[in-house]
């Protein structure tokens, strides 16, 4: 297939902007695959901050990072991503990625929730440097996912175009509520000219 599927598309966006030494966020570490991908991109002089509320996710990610020898540049936080502003207030980040839904292979009743997700996205955008990107991979094939999808889309559509570019990437002819991507790039604000 010539069109990139959802995860390769999101990784391609991250790969275009993240450089060694950058600071980034994995807002929902899950089984650690995005965390490891980000750790490779930032290198030993960069920093990845990873959030998850489930100890199972922290454990799986720790094991994966150890196996890949990537744990020195990663800080895992057993906290809600909604606490991002509080925990990373001194940071400026180049990128953030969210995989919304539930932990693959985990308890499907524990999901990301609309209110805390919006709070976390807002925090990520406030920490984001100019030209940085926040990526939202939205899995919505479950009841809470439908609620969260609507809230996230409404939030993203309301972002001022003078400050953000917002892109939606999805396959529209697939069955069973396929995941899709929202990518938000922070723009440089142009100064208002005096008249």
Write down the pLDDT at residue 103.
Answer: 61
Q: Looking at the predicted structure, is the pLDDT value of residue 98 above 70?
A: yes
Spatial distance between the Cα atoms of 163 and 110, rounded to a whole number of angstroms: 33
What's the rounded mean pLDDT across residues 83-103? Answer: 90
- 2: Cβ–Cβ under 8 A, 6 or more apart, which residues? none
Write down the pLDDT at residue 194.
Answer: 53
> pLDDT tens digit string along 3-25?
888 899 999 999 999 999 999 99
Confidence of residue 191 (pLDDT cuts 50, 70, 90): low
Scored b (16 or more CB within 10 A) or e, 81-101 reads bbebeebbeeeebbbbbbbbb
Q: Looking at the predicted structure, is the pLDDT value of residue 78 above 80?
A: yes
The whole-model pTM stands at: 0.91
Q: Would you list the DSSP string of 154-179?
A: HHHHHS-TTTEEEEEE--TT-SS---
> pLDDT tens digit string along 18-71?
999 999 999 999 999 999 999 999 999 999 999 999 899 999 999 999 999 999
Q: How far is CA 126 from CA 115, 123, 156, 185, 186, in A?
A: 17, 5, 14, 12, 9
Q: What is the CATH number of domain 6-186?
A: 3.40.50.150
Q: At what angle do helices 55-67 and 33-42 cross, to 10 degrees?
A: 50
Confidence of residue 102 (pLDDT cuts 50, 70, 90): low
Spatial distance between the Cα atoms of 69 and 21, rounded to a whole number of angstroms: 17
Q: Would you list the DSSP string of 110-148?
A: -B--HHHHHHHHHHHHHHEEEEEEEEEEE--SSHHHHHH
- 78: Cβ–Cβ under 8 A, 6 or more apart, which residues? 52, 53, 55, 58
Are 111 and 145 in contact by the 8 Å Cβ rule? The answer is yes
Sign of the alpha-carbon torsion through 16, 179, 31, 131: positive
> pLDDT tens digit string along 120-167?
999 999 999 999 999 999 888 677 777 888 899 999 999 999 999 999
Structural domain spans, the chain: 6-186
Bridge partners (DSSP) listed for residue 64: none
Q: Looking at the predicted structure, is the pLDDT value of residue 86 above 60?
A: yes
Query: pLDDT exceeding 90 applies to what percent of the chain?
Result: 68
**What tokens appear for 89 in the block?**
């207030």
> pLDDT tens digit string along 173-189?
888 888 889 999 999 87
């Amino acid at each position: 297939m010539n069109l990139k599927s959802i995860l390769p598309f999101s990784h391609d966006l991250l790969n275009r902007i993240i450089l060694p030494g950058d600071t980034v966020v994995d807002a929902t570490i899950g089984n650690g695959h995005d965390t490891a991908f980000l750790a490779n991109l930032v290198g030993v002089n960069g920093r990845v901050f990873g959030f998850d509320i489930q100890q199972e996710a922290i454990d799986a990610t720790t094991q994966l990072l150890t196996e890949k020898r990537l744990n020195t540049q990663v800080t895992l936080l057993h906290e809600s991503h909604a606490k991002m502003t509080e925990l990373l207030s001194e940071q400026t980040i180049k990128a953030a990625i969210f995989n919304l839904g539930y932990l693959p292979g985990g308890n499907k009743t524990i999901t990301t929730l609309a209110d805390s997700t919006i709070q976390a996205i807002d925090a990520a955008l406030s920490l984001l440097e100019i030209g940085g990107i926040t990526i939202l991979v939205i899995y919505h094939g479950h009841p809470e996912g439908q609620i969260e999808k609507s809230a996230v889309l409404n939030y993203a559509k309301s972002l001022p175009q003078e400050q953000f570019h917002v892109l939606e990437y999805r396959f529209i002819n697939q069955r069973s509520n396929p995941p899709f991507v929202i990518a938000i790039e922070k723009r440089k604000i142009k100064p208002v000219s005096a008249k």
